[in-house]
A and B are shown apart, each in its own frame.
Chain A
Amino acid sequence: MTTREIEHTADLGIEIETADLSGLFSEAAEALFGLVADSDDINPKEKIAVSAMGQGWEELFHAWLCELLAQFNLKGFGGKRCEIVSLLHERVEGLIWGECLDLERHRFYTEIKGVTYHDFKVWQEDGMWRARVIFDV
């Protein structure tokens, strides 16, 4: 399982590679929260359930990232660990462990404005699942 940052001039991007599809969704969740704030400081004391719907793996993956971002934007929730509970072709359900972030205690990195479709891809290659996504920051 690897996640690497894509070199993009204006924005931030990541490319993820995992052995299985549910790993792709959980790794992406942890990577996304790690871009917003330093995960080391996050205490995984609360558990929230997150779900998303989309047609096909690409749309589902995109909807999942948007939903995770909404957890931060609407509730201030920052995740540290993710577990995928159910993954069907049109719906994903997962559990996120983390806590509500606070400017005093947590180290924030950057505000993610959106999950763009530019160069966005979810694909299978050499037996591995891969995803590429660029966030507007």
Chain B
Amino acid sequence: MSRENTTAGDEIKLRRVAEWLWEIPRQGGMRVPGRIYASEELLPSLQDNNSMRQVMNVACLPGIVGYSLAMPDIHWGYGFPIGGVAAMDYDNGVISPGGVGYDINCGVRLVRTNLVFRDVEEKIPRLVEALFSSIPSGVGAHGAIPKISLGDERRLLREGARWAVGEGYGRQEDLEYMEEGGALQGADADLLSERALERGLRQVGTLGSGNHFLEIGRVEEIYRTREAEILGLFPDQLLVLIHTGSRGLGYQTCEDFLKVMNRATGKYQIDIPDRQLACTPVKSPEGQDYLAAMACAANYAWANRQVIMSQAEKAFIRVLGISPRELGFFLIYDVCHNIAKIEEHVVEGKPRRVCVHRKGATRAFPPNHPLIPKAYRQIGQPVLVPGDMGRYSFLLVGTETAMEATFGSTCHGAGRVMSRAQSRKISRGINIDQEMARRGVVARYQGRATMAEEMPHSYKDVAAVVETMERAGISKKVARFRPVGIIKG
């Protein structure tokens, strides 16, 4: 592999554009070039070609603007690569559920506390146990709250996190610290199937399985003091990180609309290189219906994370025997990393309305952007990037460069480097509990198999991922935190 100007993984040629940026030139049916952010260190993880092929496939979609982009945590997904970003012209482009994924509005929220790790270190096992018993996790888990009525569910789908706050889960001010205030407008529950609605009734307040988790972390390093102060961070502070999405309701909505898109792709005579990229013009009735159904699922995810956060606060209060005021359980921010959003961006010097698909990528708006909370206007939008469960996670902020180069987007996580089967094989010789304890993490989980697939060796080093985006000027590191407790499905 040449390190100079071009490199090839089999037949795919990469041209180096800048130190951290590689381009796949237009070829075949590609309407725009592909662009991948990767350091020299991360580049070998692309060698299998599958994820690069997916970047090229996305570049073939009608109305794509600028580049088919991939963040440094790129890995092989289905349809879009995970870590993929694509903006489609609102008037002439398409929307694809494959660019959002089954877990619509899968995302992360970060909560700060007033606690200092060394003061509560001994109570971490009890905290983890309390969190594990009050927040259902694992395959098919049912809600932390009783089954809701269909009427309540419809309200939840319209109001998102606001519904949860109205039901007593969290505080009104939490809503300021979520993308879109915790509810996408235009949600229409009439577009969801009975099956999707049925699946949603019992899963509010559940983590799920796979890579979803709730983590207690401690602030290990602060890179930018001013930003950290504004975000309420201090050294050795205890934080809570929640990673989950729209659960069965979102998965079912994706499945239902893939069928709609399969028909629409034929109806509008759209040529696609992978059936999972089935799509429709954004402005078509099918496109508008998908946006309204997707908004329902996105709102479900915000309500889900809101309920989980509230349950976590109660568990902390119970175990530590302190007041809410002493605990200071405040939401720093909540981001989506599987979503399509209609946004305004400047393209070739002109403002343009686009549908930005972020599939395993996070919005990273710059300082002074009107869509970020007033309290953060001077520093930019917080971006939450979880790593693997044994190393560390990062808090970043967005930049103006992100607006110019990536439609205001950055990475979303570490990115897998090996298949689940390989991970399980390697994990076979490892005592998971001992290994997590060796790393200073108290872990409670439902399934050993999931843990085996999610061990740190399965992932890239997230530090290399966020460093790439820092050097490229796309997002800036504010703090790093290390897990001390984790619950998983």
Contacts and interface: CB of A to CB of B under 8 A. Distances in A.
A4 B189 CA distance: 39
Interface stretch (B107-115, B341-349, B399-407, B414-422): B414-422
A9 B50 contact: yes
B276 A107 contact: no
B101 to A, nearest CB: 7
B102 A136 contact: yes
A118 interface: yes
A10 B76 contact: yes
A103 B210 CA distance: 16
A84 interface: no
Interface string B433-445: 0000000000000
Contact of A9 (B79, B98, B416): B416
A110 interface: yes
B199 A74 contact: yes
A76 B141 CA distance: 10
Interface size bracket, A side: 20 to 34
A105 interface: no
B422 A137 contact: no
Contact of A108 (B77, B278, B446): B446
A113 interface: yes
Contacts of B76: 8-10
Interface residues of B, number: 47
A137 B421 CA distance: 13
Interface stretch (B250-258, B286-294, B384-392): B250-258
Contacts of B208: 111
A49 interface: no
Given A109-B139, A110-B210, A111-B209, A9 B417 contact: yes
Nearest to A54: B259
Interface in A103-136: 103, 107-111, 113-120, 134, 136
A37 to B, nearest CB: 7
A61 B210 CA distance: 25
A110 B103 CA distance: 15
Nearest to B278: A117
B51 to A, nearest CB: 8
Interface string B204-236: 000011100000000000000000000000000
Contacts of B489: 111
Interface stretch (B179-187, B322-330, B447-455): B447-455
A96 B25 CA distance: 50
Nearest to B209: A111
Interface stretch (A17-25, A39-47, A65-73, A86-94): A65-73
Most buried by B among A11, A66, A70: A11
Nearest to B106: A113
A109 B140 contact: no
Interface in B55-86: 75-79, 82
A31 interface: no
B218 to A, nearest CB: 29
Most buried by B among A72, A74, A110: A110
Contact of A109 (B102, B252, B447): B447
A7 B102 contact: no
A7 B422 CA distance: 8
A36 interface: yes
9 smallest A-B Cβ distances: which pairs?
A118-B78, A111-B209, A117-B275, A113-B102, A116-B78, A114-B102, A108-B139, A118-B276, A7-B419
